[in-house]
Structures are given as structure tokens and as C-alpha cells.
Amino acid sequence: MVEHFLIGLASIIILGIGSQWLAWRLHLPSILLLLLMGFLAGPVTNFLQPDMLFGDLLVPFISIAVALILFEGGLSLRITELRETSRVVMILVSMGALVTWGIGAFAAHSLLGLDGKLAILLGAILVVTGPTVIGPLLRYVRPTRQVASILKWEGIVIDPIGAVVALLAYETLLVTEAQSASLAALLMLLKTILFGTLIGVLGAGVLIVLFKRYWVPDFLQETVTLMVVIGAHVGSGLLQEESGLLAVTLMGVLLANQKSVSVVHIVEFKENLRVLLISSLFILLAARLKLEYLTDLGWNSVIFLIILMMIARPLAVLISTLRSKLSWSERAFLMWVAPRGIVAASVVSIFALRLVEVGYLQATQLVPLTFLVIVGTVAVYGLTARPVAKLLGVAQLHPQGVLFMGAHPWAREIAQVLQDKGYRVRLVDTNWECISAARMAGLPVHYGSAISEDSLDRLDLNGIGRLLALTPNDEANSLAALHFAEVFGREELYQLAPAANPMETISEFTPLHLRGRFLFSTGATYQALSELKAQGAVIKTTTLTDSFDFAAYQQQYGASAIPLFLIGQDGSLRIFTVDGGLTPEKGQVVISMVIEPDSPPRPEAG
């Protein structure tokens, strides 16, 4: 028996994380592989049976996992992101949610024959989208900044709202008199807002005080935060059912936007935890499906799904984006993306079971219908979101642009060459003279610190896919690499090699996980490159041919030449680094810092 439980738990983690990794390798939406693996492990083979494995602990586990995911989502919500999109987000999670609720309820009643109250409950449950599905989809598609901000805020904020609305609809089912139902719903709403807000503010305040006064050591801060979040979720839920989701979401938002203590390390910990939780939850979600669920669903159920996707969502977005500055391409993409996820599945499972117990036999249809919507929306949006975003011109599939930290003369010259080659660039510096010179040269700039707390919100990173930290301060370069790790990923973080130090080797300068990849070559320090420029070096582009290959290039320009970038025939921009890996070939373009030889260059060199 022990081995059975051990194998089951191990399978969930292996299948979940393995699916995430395989999806990354195959460039597929991770949600699709997670659902597929869970479906194969559950209803197809009966290898994994979550209800038997967890028993009565399954629903509490899902509840706590969703709370942690929502808290992590709240940590990613910066109020400054709403400068341009706050109106759209607010209408989308209020009026837009009402539109989706109304159309869903009407379709469920008229098309599926559900009792009116059950139809209202199903419509409320299907309002939510959620970070469990929106987050992975955004990382896969990489839409433009405004679109990503709207979808992220909607997905996180709508979850507690949808759960509360569903709870109100559920409670009114249990009250026979209309007047009593209205009063009960109003009282429940007020209690949910009151307790959720109170516990959320209290939880955030406790953490801020503990960290600000150094009452918690660094190595315990992540786990203490975990403890407080779980405690707030459960405590708020005991005071008022489903208010815990509101409490933890608000906690995350408050912690993310306060200035008293740093929560960067907590954000990183929660991001790693989120990947594990999302992977596990989707495996459990798919494994709990039963084949008879699908066989019991008719064509009316498919039409119901189509109505939600093709009528309810577009109409909700259309109403929410009226008089906004969004382009029609951005609006069209918002109309097309609204996958449902874990919250809808967990809420419907609980409510359906309780309603059947009190005599609502039709409630057995709620679970298969909700799962159909979840699987259908995830499959359709997961497979089509990327090509649709690309077609509409709102995707940053493989952004080739470069963010320069440092706008000194030779950094400006490198940026100018890249911009002339058609790549987006942006230079960040705290030196006003350097910023002014870059702006006069026609280069996009940002005056301020790249490692300030609000830099990620203030910087326009559309089309930017990597960081080059080129300042003379090695520690600042490393801090910048850490700061932008969430945005670009470790593979696309680059910094200059550190200044020579006889007491340490280059590999001992800073641990790999605390810095970016070292640029160009071991000796390409800030001082060395500046001295090379002072000797008359220029930034040069050279097209390699059969008669002038890379060996000939090296022979002509000598050891002083420092290759910087390599442009492939497909237009991809790659960077020379200390860890190597680039072999220039015919047809590619090498961008380098060279001192021109006395003899004139070969005709093939550009």
C-alpha cells in the first residue's frame, strides 16, 4: 500500500515536470501536454487515480495549491502596469464578467436544459480564466506589453471574483424564498469582501513588519511567507467561505507594491513553487476525468462551448475596450484568449457534490460540462494563440532586440550598428550626458537605473529579447542580470567579463547563478574595450563568403579583433561569449570591434 501511494505521488511530479520540459523542448504550450499526460495516466490507463490516492485530502490540497498560485500571481501585479490599461481591466473583470455570466447561463438553460438556478451557477463558475492557464500561455505566446498586462491582471483578479460569484449563486440555490436569497447573497458578498480584505491586509502587514525588523532570518523568509499565506487562506475561509482567495491575492498585490522591504527572493521562490503546483494540478485535473463524462456529452455541449468562445468572450472584450487606445489587432487577440483552469474545476467539483446531496440531481451535469469547457478552451487556445498572435502582429515570438545597460560612446556605436541592421535596441543609463548623446544619435533611451525596483514597469521592452550589461561596474552588471532574469531567462543575460584580479580567476568572480554570461572573450573587460576604442578601433560588419571565411577574417584583422555578434542567414542575432559555441559560416555576418589594418580591406568585407 505504501508503495502504491509513493508511486502515485512520484508519477504526478514526474509527469508534470516532464511535460513542462518536453513542451519547452518541442516549443508547444505546456498546458496541452499536461492535460494529455494526465488523461493518459488517468481515464485511459487507470494508472493514476487521484481520488483514491488523496481521498478526502484532494479538495483541500487543490484549495491550498490554488491559493499559493493566486498569491504568486498577486506578487507579479504592479500597479504601475495599469497606467494605460486600468480602465480595460476594471471593466473586463466587472461588466465583462457579467456579460460572460449572463450568456453562459442563458445558453446552459436554453440549450442544455439545465434548471434556471443551476444554469446561473454554471455561468458563474465559467467566468474565471485564471493564472494557472494564462501564465503558461503568455510565456509561450509573448504578446505585446499592453495585451500581456491586461490578460495577466484579468486572469489573476477574476479568480477570486469568479469564486465569490459562484459561491453566491450556489448559496441562493439553497434558499427558496427570493427575498431571503437576495439578503443572504448580499450579506455573503459583504462578509467576503470584509474578511478577505482584512485578512489580506493583516497578512501582508505581518510579513512586512517581520522582515523590516529582521525578526526572520533570510533563509526562513520564503517558508515563513508560505506559512502566512496558507494561514491567511484557511483563516479567512473559516470566517467566510471562498474569501481566502481574495485574501491571498490581495496579500500578493500589497507585498509587490510596497517599498519597505525587498520581496525579490520571495517572488523567485514562489515562481518555482508555482511551476510545480501548476504541473501537479493539471495532471490531477486531467486524471480525474472519466470516459463516461465525454460519452454523455452531446453536440449541444459542443455548441455551448462554441457560444462561450465565439460570442460571450468577444462581446465581453468589445464592451470592455470601447474608447480604449488598444488597436483592433490587440482587441481581436483579447477576444480570442480566455482559457479556463483549476479554479473552475475545483469549485464545480465541490458544489456539484453538495447539490446532489440536497436533491439537485441535474447537478451531476455540471462537472462534465465544466471539464469540457476547460479541456476545449485550453486545447483550442493553446494550439491557436501563437499563430493568431503572429497573424495579428501582437506576438513577440523570438524577440531579437537588445537592452543595453550603459550608454557610453562605444556602447552607443554598437547599438547604432545593430539598429541599422534592423534590430530593436534600447539604452539605459543614469548619466544624462550619455543619454542625451544617444538620443541625439536617434537611439531609443531610458534615463534611470536599470536595476531600480520599477524599471521593469517603466521600460518599453517590446521586441527586446536580451540584456547586455556594459557598465564599468562589475557588481552592477551582475545585479542587472539578476534583475532581468525573469524577463529574458538566464540564456539571454550577458555582462562584460570582470576586471583582472590576481586573487581570483574569472570563474571565481561571481557564482554562475548570480550573474550573466560573460560577453565576447575573457579579456573583453570594460577597460580593455575602452582602450581598444581609444586606439582607433571601429565597430565593423563583415559578410563571410567562400573566398573570405572566418579563418581569413581572423588572419586579416589579427588577434586584436573582438567578434561581438553573429547574424545568421535567417536574421537571427547571436552573441559571442566566453563559453563559446559559435562557429561563423558562409553567408553569415560578423559584427566585431577591430583596428583596421594598414592595407585596404578585401572587397568581400562589408
Domains of the chain: 2-392 (1.20.1530.20), 401-594 (3.40.50.720)
pLDDT for 106:
93
pLDDT at residue 536 is higher than 70 = yes
Cα separation, 114 vs 121, in Å, equals 10
Cα→Cα distances 110→168, 301, 304, 387, Å: 22, 12, 10, 34
Cα separation, 566 vs 553, in Å, equals 13
pLDDT for 72:
78
Least confident of 6-10, 242-246, 315-319: 242-246
Q: How many residues does the chain have?
A: 606
pLDDT for 174:
64
Cα separation, 572 vs 563, in Å, equals 16
Q: What average pLDDT score do residues 20-48 get?
A: 82
pLDDT for 606:
42
Cα separation, 105 vs 120, in Å, equals 5
Q: Give me the DSSP letters along 108-140.
A: HHHHH---HHHHHHHHHHTT---HHHHHHHHHH
Pair 367, 349: CB distance under 8 Å: yes
pLDDT for 339:
83
pLDDT for 274:
76
| Residue burial 241-275, b: 16+ Cβ < 10 Å; e: rest | bbbbbbbbbbbbbbbbbeeebebeebbebbeebbb
pLDDT at residue 332 is higher than 70 = yes
Neighbours of 56 (CB within 10 A): 7
**pLDDT above 90: percentage of residues in the chain:** 9
**321's grid cell:** 475596450
The enclosing H or E element of 542 equals: strand 538-543
Sign of the Cα torsion 295, 297, 300, 301 reads: negative
DSSP 8-state class, residue 577: B
pLDDT for 405:
87
Neighbours of 505 (CB within 10 A): 10
Cα→Cα distances 233→93, 277, 583, Å: 22, 16, 54
3-state percent helix, strand, coil for the chain, nearest multiple of 5: 65, 10, 25
Q: Which residues contact 442 (CB under 8 A, 6 or more apart)?
A: 419
Cα separation, 469 vs 43, in Å, equals 51
pLDDT digits (tens, 9 = 90+) for 44-63: 888 888 888 888 788 788 88
pLDDT for 564:
86
Binned at pLDDT 50, 70 and 90, residue 605 comes out as very low
Per DSSP bridges, beta strands 464-469 and 493-495 are parallel
Cα→Cα distances 235→229, 281, 582, Å: 10, 23, 55
Binned at pLDDT 50, 70 and 90, residue 177 comes out as very low
Cα separation, 228 vs 211, in Å, equals 13
**Stronger pLDDT, 508 or 460, i.e. the higher one:** 460
One-letter-per-residue 3-state SS of 41-101: HHHHCCCCCHHHHHHHHHHHHHHHHHHHHHHHHHHCCCHHHHHCCHHHHHHHCCHHHHHHH
Q: Which residues contact 582 (CB under 8 A, 6 or more apart)?
A: 563, 566, 574, 576
pLDDT at residue 19 is higher than 60 = yes
DSSP 8-state class, residue 27: T
pLDDT for 520:
82
Neighbours of 355 (CB within 10 A): 21
**278's grid cell:** 501548476
The enclosing H or E element of 439 equals: helix 432-440
pLDDT at residue 83 is higher than 50 = yes
Q: What average pLDDT score do residues 254-268 get?
A: 78
**CA 147 from chain center: how many Å?**
12
pLDDT digits (tens, 9 = 90+) for 542-594: 888 878 877 887 777 777 778 888 888 777 888 888 877 777 888 888 888 88
pLDDT at residue 1 is higher than 70 = no
Span between the terminal Cα atoms of the chain, in Å: 71
Q: What average pLDDT score do residues 406-423 get?
A: 87
pLDDT at residue 483 is higher than 70 = yes
Whose CA is closest to 80, among 259, 331, 311?
259
Binned at pLDDT 50, 70 and 90, residue 306 comes out as very high
Cα separation, 347 vs 481, in Å, equals 40
pLDDT for 600:
47
Least confident of 109-123, 417-431, 458-472: 458-472
Least confident of 86-95, 508-517, 525-534: 508-517
**Stronger pLDDT, 277 or 268, i.e. the higher one:** 277
Q: What average pLDDT score do residues 287-296 get?
A: 72
Q: What average pLDDT score do residues 178-195 get?
A: 72
**301's grid cell:** 455541449
pLDDT at residue 125 is higher than 60 = yes
Alpha-helical regions (H) of 261-341:
264-287, 291-296, 299-307, 313-320, 328-336
Binned at pLDDT 50, 70 and 90, residue 604 comes out as very low
Binned at pLDDT 50, 70 and 90, residue 474 comes out as confident
Pair 400, 571: CB distance under 8 Å: yes
**553's grid cell:** 577574417
Q: What average pLDDT score do residues 304-313 get?
A: 92
pLDDT at residue 379 is higher than 70 = yes
Least confident of 164-178, 271-285, 331-345, 372-386: 164-178
Binned at pLDDT 50, 70 and 90, residue 121 comes out as confident
C-alpha torsion 385→403→152→382, nearest 10: 20
Cα separation, 379 vs 313, in Å, equals 16
Binned at pLDDT 50, 70 and 90, residue 268 comes out as low
pLDDT at residue 506 is higher than 60 = no
pLDDT for 514:
64
pLDDT at residue 505 is higher than 70 = no
**Stronger pLDDT, 158 or 450, i.e. the higher one:** 158
pLDDT for 130:
65
Q: What average pLDDT score do residues 454-461 get?
A: 64
**Stronger pLDDT, 461 or 366, i.e. the higher one:** 366
Pair 347, 374: CB distance under 8 Å: no
Q: What is the mean pLDDT of the chain?
A: 80
Pair 403, 466: CB distance under 8 Å: yes
> What's this model's pTM, rounded to 2 decimal places?
0.67
pLDDT for 221:
86
